[in-house]
Amino acid sequence: MISLSHNQFSYLIVTASYWTFMLSDGALRMLVLLHFHQNGFSPLQLAYLFLFYELAGIFTNLTAGWLATKFGLKFTLTTGLTIQILSLYLLSQLNEDWSHNFSVLYVLIVQGLSGVAKDLTKMSSKSAVKLLAPENNMGLFRWVAILTGSKNTIKGLGFLVGSVLLATLGFYKSLLCMLVIVSLILIMSVFLLKNDLFSTKKNIKFADIFSKSKNINFLSVARVFLFGARDVWFVVGLPVFFYNIFSDGTTEGKQSAFYIVGSIMALWVILYGLVQAISPRLFQNKENKDPDLIQISKKWVFYLLVNIIFITLLFLIINEVFFKNLVLFLGLFIFCFIFAVNSSVHSFLILKFSKKKDVTLDVGFYYMANATGRLLGTFLSGYTFQVGGLMLSLTVASAMIGLCFFFTFFIDENNEILEN
C-alpha cells in the first residue's frame, strides 16, 4: 500500500483542485468564444468579452498574495473555486431576449468574476508547491513542471470539452454540467485540505505586495511580453481564422467547425502542457548538477524570437492559401514547444527567487504581470485581427517577443535585492 507524507497528500489535493478548475476554465473559454462568434460578435467584441477576465486577474494577483499571507492558502484556494461556481451559475442565467449591449456588459462582469477565481486558484496552487516541494532546485523544478504542465494539458482538454459540449448539450446545459463538477472538487478541498498549509502573518502590510527583488521585477516584465505575444494571436485571431476556414455557414458546417477549432486549440494547449511537464528532463546533465536555468531562459527566448519572426515572414511571403495555412499550422506547434519551455523555466525561476516567508506575495506580484500580458494580448488580438488580419497579429507578437528577449537579459544571479 502506498503511504503518502503530509506534503505529498496536500500536493495531490491542491493539484486535483487546480486540474478541475482549469478544465472548467478551458471549456468556458471555448463556450463563450464560439457561442458569441456564432451569434454575430465581431473579433473586437469577442476580445472585449475576455478583457474583464484578464483585468480582474491583474487586481486579483496584486491582492491574492496579501490575502494568502493573512488568511492562508486554503482560504484563497477554496474562495477561488467558490467564485468560479458563482460565475458559471450567473452565465447560465444569460437571457437571449436581453439587448445586445446589456448581454455584452453582463458577460463582461461574469467573465471578470471567473478571472478573479482563476488567479486566486493559480496563486494558491503555485505558492503551495514552493512550500511542499523538495529543497533542491531540480526537485522544485520537477514539481513545478508537473503542476504547470498537467494544468495546461487539462486546460487544453477543456478547450475540446467546451467545443463538444457546445455542439451536443448547448451553451446553458454545458455551464450547469461544469458547475456540478467544480462544486464536487470544492467540497473535497474544504474537508481534506488542512488549514496549516501556510503559516499566516496577521500584521502584513498591503504595500508588501510589491517585490523588492530586481530579478523578480525583470522576470515579471519579461512575462508581460511573453504572454502578451502568445495571446495576441491565440485568443481571438487563430480560433476565428480557423473557424472561418472550416465553417460553410450551414448548421452542420458550424458544428463541424466547432469540433475542428476546439480540437486544434486543445491539441496546442495539451502539447504545451506536456512539454512543460517534461522540460526538466531537457536540462538534466550527467554530473547530476543543477543546470543554470537563468542562462537557459535567455537562450530559449532567443529561439522563440527566431521562430515567430520566421512564421511571420513566411505567412507574408507565401501567397498559395494551402501552403500559407500549412505554415501557420506547423509554425503554431513549433512555437508551442519553444514557448512551453520558456514558460516552464519562468515558473521555476519565480519560485527560486522567492523566499518561503514571502512566497505568496512574490508569486502574486509575478502573476499580476502574467495577467497584464494576457490583458494586453487579449485586447490586441481582437484589435489587430479586425484591423489587419492575422498578419498584423503575428507582427505585433514578434515585437512583443523581442521585448521579452530584451528584459530577460537583465536577470542575473548576483542582482537580487533592491535597496530600500
CATH 2.40.50.140 fits 6-192+204-408, yes or no: no
CA pseudo-torsion sign 380, 382, 388, 390:
positive
Q: pLDDT tens digits for 205-252?
A: 544 555 567 888 888 889 999 999 999 988 888 888 888 888 777 777
Q: What is the distance between the alpha carbons of residues 399 and 406, in angstroms, rounded to a whole number?
A: 11
Backbone phi, psi, residue 417, to 5°: -115, 135
Backbone phi, psi, residue 213, to 5°: -95, 125
What confidence tier does 339 reach under pLDDT thresholds 50, 70, 90? very high
Do the beta carbons of residue 367 and residue 299 sit within 8 Å? no
Question: Is the model's pLDDT at 202 over the cut of 60?
Answer: no
In the chain, the percentage of residues whose pLDDT exceeds 90 is 14
pLDDT confidence of residue 78: 86
Q: pLDDT tens digits for 152-178?
A: 777 778 888 888 888 888 888 888 888
198 vs 368, more confident: 368
Q: What is the distance between the alpha carbons of residues 127 and 122, in angstroms, rounded to a whole number?
A: 8
Q: Which residue ranges make up each domain of the chain?
A: 6-192+204-408
Torsion of CA 356, 358, 362, 364, to 10 degrees: 100
User: Stretch 190-195: mean pLDDT, rounded?
Assistant: 73
pLDDT confidence of residue 134: 58
Tell me the DSSP string of 83-127. HHHHHHHHHHT--TTS-HHHHHHHHHHHHHHHHHHHHHHHHHHHH
pLDDT confidence of residue 3: 46
Q: pLDDT tens digits for 51-91?
A: 777 787 777 777 766 676 777 777 888 888 899 899 999 98
pLDDT confidence of residue 131: 61
Q: pLDDT tens digits for 365-415?
A: 777 888 889 888 988 988 898 888 889 999 999 999 999 999 998 887 665
User: Stretch 251-264: mean pLDDT, rounded?
Assistant: 78
Q: Mean pLDDT over all residues of the chain? A: 79
pLDDT confidence of residue 112: 85
Identify which of 75, 190, 120, 140 has the alpha carbon closest to the alpha carbon of residue 344. 140
Do the beta carbons of residue 277 and residue 143 sit within 8 Å? no
Q: What's this model's pTM, rounded to 2 decimal places?
A: 0.70
